[in-house]
């Protein structure tokens, strides 16, 4: 009954001029059958591989958000682990005064620096 309603709605929006349809969390075979009945392309997210295309949220497929994983999401990387590791390394280098180093800082000409220091000292005397 629900599958029939989805088919009827899909046909109705197609007839109304819709240019594509997304199936989300629809059983794979239902999405496949309805996709074949439509003239417009279908995109699936949690709807099996019988649609014309697939979509996943970047946060889900990269493993950024680890507290919840929808059934239809496959994680292709563990970006959160990589990010946390990088942040820990950054914090450690800052605490140990290893970053920023000369390679990651802008330099000033020595003569210009001396001029600036003199100006600063003169301002203190005023």
Catalytic residue status for 24: yes
* Residue (of 55, 76, 78, 57) closest to 66 by Cα position: 78
Q: What single DSSP character describes residue 103?
A: G
Question: Are 42 and 53 a contacting pair, CB within 8 Å?
Answer: yes
Structure tokens at 1: 């009954």
Active-site option among 8, 22, 24, 89 = 24
Strand order in the sheet with 53-54: 21-24, 42-45, 53-54
For residue 43 the two structure tokens come to 């995109």
Q: Is 1 helix (H, G, I), strand (E, B) or coil?
A: coil
Name the residues annotated as catalytic.
24
């Amino acid at each position: 009954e629900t599958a029939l309603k989805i088919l009827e709605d899909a046909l109705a929006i197609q007839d109304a001029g819709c240019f594509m349809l997304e199936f989300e969390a629809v059983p794979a075979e239902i999405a496949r059958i309805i996709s074949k009945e439509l003239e417009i392309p279908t995109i699936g997210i949690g709807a099996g591989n019988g649609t014309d295309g697939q979509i996943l949220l970047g946060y889900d497929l990269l493993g950024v958000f680890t507290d919840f994983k929808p059934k239809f999401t496959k994680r292709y990387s563990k970006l959160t682990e990589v990010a946390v590791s990088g942040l820990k390394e950054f914090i450690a280098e800052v605490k140990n005064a290893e970053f920023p180093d000369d390679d990651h800082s802008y330099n000033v000409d020595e003569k210009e620096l001396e001029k600036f220091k003199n100006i600063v000292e003169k301002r203190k005397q005023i």
